A and B are shown apart, each in its own frame.
Chain A
Amino acid sequence: MFTIGFDESGNVALAGRLDAAKAPEAQDFLDQVSGSCSLDLAALEYISSAGLGVLLRTHKRLMGGGEGLKMVNVSNHINDIFMYSGFDKLFDIEVAGNGSAG
């Protein structure tokens, strides 16, 4: 199961498993986002390279306008994937309970 949508704070909340089957749904949603955007990943259980690709494409598009994606409430497991992928050098990442990680 995977869901994506705006929460009451105006952040984009992702929940469940962002795999290759769900990546197009996430990309379609994020393609509609403009300006600065925070992704709340508190309920994101899993991400594969297909999901990482969605984040990377969206970040590059937004950075073209001087903005970008910020990831907040990132679990240790998801943060491990980000670090393996070098995303800690590309994104502003806040690990859950720990503040900024990169």
Chain B
Amino acid sequence: MKRKFSRSFDELARIVACTEEFFSDHGIDSSLRHVVDLCVEELFVNMVTYDTETDADILIEMAPHERGVEVSMTDYDVERFDPRSRGDVDIDAPLEQRTPGGLGLYLVLKMVDSIHYEYRDRNSRITFVAGRK
């Protein structure tokens, strides 16, 4: 699967539909859907929210992987943002100190098998593998 999506949260429904089609076409274990859906949404939302200096579409690619699924997401003409450098959330903090911020990337880093970041020619590309535990 290799498709581009405009920079809108309204695209999330189409991303889910494309993911469902990809899983069906390749007979991939549906138990991985939750992880893939969540990680793709969190990274997509992060790109749309913070990479506001561009209006280029975001490319999402999915391919079968020996452990499950490999997903790449490319954001064009943006500043460098390595998601591996973020994601520190104190989940043991008391309620009054908890905020929603940062939880998305924290979950991504917790749930993927591996994650890779590449920044070249102002293009930001994140690749992760979601695999069977």
A contacts, CB < 8 Å to B: 17, 19-21, 46, 48-50, 52-53, 56-57, 59-60, 63, 77, 81, 84-86, 89-90
Q: How far is the CA of A50 from the CA of B35 in the complex (A)?
A: 15
Task: For the complex formed, measure the closest distance between the CB of B35 and the CB atoms of chain A, giving whole angstroms.
Answer: 10
A-B contact count (CB 8 A): 61
Cβ of B103 within 8 Å of any chain A Cβ, yes or no, is yes
From DSSP, what is the main secondary structure of chain B's interface residues?
helix
Contact at B91–A86, with CB atoms within 8 Å? yes
Near A by CB (< 8 A), chain B positions 76-133 give 89, 91-93, 95-96, 98-100, 103-104, 106-107, 110-111
Name the B residues within 8 Å of A59 (CB-CB).
95
What sequence of 0s and 1s flags, for each residue 47-78 of chain B, a beta carbon within 8 Å of any chain A beta carbon?
00000000000000000000000000000000
Cβ of B4 within 8 Å of any chain A Cβ, yes or no, is no
Cβ of B10 within 8 Å of any chain A Cβ, yes or no, is yes
Name the B residues within 8 Å of A17 (CB-CB).
16
Q: Of B45, B91, B99, which contacts A85 at CB under 8 A?
A: B91
Closest partner residue, chain B, to A56 (CB atom) = B100
Q: Of B45, B93, B95, B96, which contacts A20 at CB under 8 A?
A: B45
Task: For the complex formed, measure the closest distance between the CB of A67 and the CB atoms of chain B, giving whole angstroms.
Answer: 13
Contact at A84–B111, with CB atoms within 8 Å? yes
Cβ of B34 within 8 Å of any chain A Cβ, yes or no, is yes
